[in-house]
Amino acid sequence: MTMHAAPVLPGRLGSPDMQLRDDPRADPRMLAAMAPFGLDGVLPPTPVTSDSPDEEIYEHVAATEEGFGAVFAALFGDLPEIAGVESTTEVIRGVDGNDIQLYVHRPSSTDGAVPCVVHTHGGGMVLGAAADPNYVRWRDSLAAAGLVVVGVEFRNGAGKLGNHPFPAGLNDCTSGLQWAHDHRADLGISTIVVSGESGGGNLALATALKARREGRIDQIDGVYAQCPYISNAYDRGDPNLPSLVENDGYFLSGQMMGPLARIYDPSREHDTDPLAWPYHAEVADLEGLPPHVISVNELDPLRDEGLAYFRKLLAAGVPAVGRTVNGTCHAGDCLFPKAMPDVYAATIADLAAFARSL
């Protein structure tokens, strides 16, 4: 009788002390880029939890924002300028009566109408800015691929653009979408895709859900959500999301994300509201949505919540594609244009191809 060894579970499911640098799935180019910042291991414990006082969490978010800002500045600061694109800034009045900056990037020349991406940046809806260098580069890259891109500078739940809890940021993204839709002819655009990564992936999905609820889904031709941060299960876990354990501490950790999620909705009244956390949408909430792409990263704690949403879309009859970028951490296909230019370019090309297919 042949005996078979039990399969070894991946990542920290099989080896609880595993570091990202020791995970055989990790792209070595990514590890080399992360090592100077100490991000190729496992994140250390954070000084706050989701039960900490609001002010302590706000202080922690501010420090986290500054730290990530320094990393992104180093990763993107010395890249050559992308030729053949131009950008302008618009200021619009949002649905809440606030001013919102929109960053419009476009090809210097076009032949007829082209697709538009309304971009919602990452940062867990509580930190970061559309003006940050990594997002400027992303919009320029999409414009160089022949798209018009509208980056929404939405209000954050904390940080330098806070403190504005849910639904402030979502309302601003809705206002940005409305502006792009109202200016289709002026912008010379054929279709509109709402897209973002991480917290921006949350906002892209939630913008579509909100538009459906409000009878405005015709404003959106497609949704492209990358590594969406949508479960709100970070400090309590979910047995249906094993990647929260498998990849815990790889660039992101549950302990880190729990306080950020809490401060997005300090009252916790919206813990399972799909507009705050789209993972909790029912299949019926998704029926009639436009085509989606859900792109996830193999070594991301958030991988499985994105795939779960993809499967709900299919169950709802929504045309959807699921995409996994192997070897990469959370948003790894967006963060390392120097170390992994082919991976970065592949996601730009995929998003552009999706927009043109609609």
Q: Does some domain include residue 17? A: no
Q: Does some domain include residue 259? A: yes
Domain carrying residue 102: 31-357
* pLDDT score, position 3: 55
Q: Is 245 helix (H, G, I), strand (E, B) or coil?
A: helix
Check if the beta carbon of residue 121 is closer than 8 Å to that of residue 160. no
Report the amino acid identity of residue 274: P
Domain count for the chain:
1
Q: Is 210 helix (H, G, I), strand (E, B) or coil?
A: helix
- Distance between CA 223 and CA 117 in Å, rounded? 9
Q: Is 34 left (phi over 0), alpha (psi -120 to 50) or beta?
A: alpha
How would you write the pLDDT of the chain (358 residues) with one tens digit per residue? 555 666 689 999 999 999 999 999 999 999 999 999 999 999 999 999 999 999 999 999 999 999 999 999 999 988 999 999 999 999 999 999 999 999 999 999 888 899 999 999 999 999 999 999 999 999 999 999 999 999 999 999 999 999 999 999 999 999 999 999 999 999 999 999 999 999 999 999 999 999 999 999 999 999 999 999 999 999 888 999 999 999 999 999 999 999 999 999 999 999 999 999 999 999 999 999 999 999 999 999 999 999 999 999 999 999 999 999 999 999 999 999 999 999 999 999 999 999 999 9
Q: Does some domain include residue 205? A: yes
Q: Does some domain include residue 10? A: no
Check if the beta carbon of residue 325 is closer than 8 Å to that of residue 295. yes
Please state, as a whole number, how many other Cβ atoms lie within 10 Å of the Cβ of residue 227.
31
- Distance between CA 56 and CA 18 in Å, rounded? 30
Please state, as a whole number, how many other Cβ atoms lie within 10 Å of the Cβ of residue 97.
6
All residues at 6 or more sequence positions from 308 whose CB lies less than 8 Å from its CB, including other chains: 240, 241, 279
Please state, as a whole number, how many other Cβ atoms lie within 10 Å of the Cβ of residue 122.
28
Task: Give CA 267 to chain center in angstroms.
Answer: 23
Helix and strand totals (H; E) in the chain? 13, 8
Task: Give CA 76 to chain center in angstroms.
Answer: 18
- E strand map for the chain: 85-93, 99-107, 114-120, 148-153, 189-197, 222-226, 292-297, 320-325
Check if the beta carbon of residue 228 is closer than 8 Å to that of residue 201. yes
Q: For tokens 């409000």, what's the residue?
A: 214
CATH number, position 270 = 3.40.50.1820
* pLDDT score, position 313: 98
Q: Does some domain include residue 9? A: no
Q: Does some domain include residue 22? A: no
All residues at 6 or more sequence positions from 136 whose CB lies less than 8 Å from its CB, including other chains: 103
* pLDDT score, position 110: 85
Among the listed residues 222, 197, 228, the one whose alpha carbon sits nearest the alpha carbon of residue 304: 228
* pLDDT score, position 53: 96
Q: Does some domain include residue 26? A: no
Q: Does some domain include residue 4? A: no
Torsions phi, psi for 270 (to 5 deg): -115, 30
Sheet order of strands, 114-120 included = 85-93, 99-107, 148-153, 114-120, 189-197, 222-226, 292-297, 320-325
- Distance between CA 12 and CA 15 in Å, rounded? 5
Residues 223, 355, 332, 58: is their CA dihedral positive or negative? negative
All residues at 6 or more sequence positions from 331 whose CB lies less than 8 Å from its CB, including other chains: 122, 197, 198, 226, 227, 297, 300
